[in-house]
Amino acid sequence: MLISQILKKSSIVVPLKSTEKDDVIEELIDKLNENGLLTDRDDVLDKVMTREMTRSTGIGQGIAIPHGKSKGVNDLIMAMGIASSEIDFDSIDNKPVSIVILLVSPAGQTGPHIQALAKISRLMLDGDFRQKLQDAQDAEEVYSLLSSKESE
């Protein structure tokens, strides 16, 4: 599974306009909706926010991966945002985030959802890569960095 095949350039936001956790999640969901990838925006928002309330998806090291399963999508989809200023995400390391990766899959789909979460987590272990993403100026640069990293 390649993240660069799931994430569309048009679903990358650099920089994020929102500065609050819930607003960032909604901004990324709205980006997916603008791109015609959602069949039920409100259900996607509800499912991702409900999941977020059970436990924060701020995984540490400046990264958050909000995610959920919803009837509002037909396929595994993703959006990504790079913040120009750090966002409090109630992360496990109690540090703010600047990279937010939203993942949404169809309600009955578990395997690909978990594979994508694992793949994203592995990619983000590389501190140099994270820094390059944080320094990226636009969606094109973020996508190029991701594609290059996956081909290593």
C-alpha dihedral (75, 43, 100, 147), degrees to nearest 10: 10
Give mean pLDDT, residues 93-108: 96
Task: Say what angle helices 21-34 and 41-54 make with each other, to 10 degrees.
Answer: 150
The Cα–Cα gap between 44 and 135 comes to 29
**Residue range(s) defining the domain that contains residue 40:** 3-150
113 in active site: no
Contact 65, 117 (CB under 8 A): yes
pLDDT 10s digits, 4-23: 999 999 999 999 999 999 99
pLDDT 10s digits, 30-84: 999 999 999 999 999 999 999 999 998 999 999 999 999 999 999 999 999 999 9
> Which residues in 64-82 are b (16+ Cβ under 10 Å) and which e?
bbbbbbbebbeebbbbbbb
Total domains in the chain come to 1
User: Do strands 97-106 and 77-87 pair parallel, antiparallel, or not at all (unpaired)?
Assistant: antiparallel
Catalytic residue among 21, 31, 67, 69: 67
Q: Tell me, what's the pLDDT at 1? A: 77
The Cα–Cα gap between 12 and 68 comes to 18
Q: Tell me, what's the pLDDT at 129? A: 98
Preceding amide of 15 cis, omega within 30 = yes
pLDDT band at 2 (very low <50, low <70, confident <90, very high): confident
Q: Terminal CA-to-CA distance of the chain, rounded, Å? A: 14
Contact 78, 111 (CB under 8 A): no
Q: List CB contacts of 36: < 8 A, sequence separation 6 or more.
A: none
3-class state of residue 29 by DSSP: helix
Q: Does the pLDDT value for residue 106 go beyond 90?
A: yes
**What CATH code is carried by the domain that includes residue 26?**
3.40.930.10
pLDDT 10s digits, 107-147: 988 898 999 999 999 999 999 999 999 999 999 999 999 99
